[in-house]
Amino acid sequence: MSLKFILAATLATAAALAWESAAAQAASEPVSREQRKAETAAANKAGQLAPAGATQKADVADAARKPTKTREQRMAETEEAKKAGQLAPAGATQKADVADAARKPTKTREQRKAETEEARKKGELAPAGEGGPTK
């Protein structure tokens, strides 16, 4: 390639970039505070503003959806389900959790303390806040 060709291509690229920059600046003239407030108020009236904290389209859609039941209706339904025994109990409801809680310990407290002390002396205990034993 010749030096003239490289120079011409560089100048053409620079001119194109300068033109795009000037066009972008002309299209985005500064807006006064009053104009911005008026635009925001109009968008608010039209329901086009996202609620505070909503960052995704799904969040905006969820926040815009109105509830189908009143609080009193939901409370009445919950009370009916409670009387019918249809509510799940709070806390551990898995069969394994219940079985674990009902199982009697196989070692005494003194045995567990002795085992822990022996493991500490051998350096087999994981340091506080760490995931595994140190060697």
Q: What is the mean pLDDT of residues 92-117?
A: 86
In tens, the pLDDT along 9-41 reads 786 777 766 667 666 665 567 888 999 999 999
pLDDT at 79: 94
pTM of the model: 0.28
In tens, the pLDDT along 41-61 reads 998 888 887 767 656 666 666
Kindly tell me if the per-residue pLDDT of 99 is higher than 60.
yes
Q: How far apart are CA 40 and CA 47, in angstroms?
A: 10
Kindly tell me if the per-residue pLDDT of 128 is higher than 60.
yes
Sequence-ordered list of residues with C-beta below 8 angstroms from that of 2, at least 6 positions apart, any chain: none
Judge whether 20 and 27 are in contact, CB under 8 Å.
no
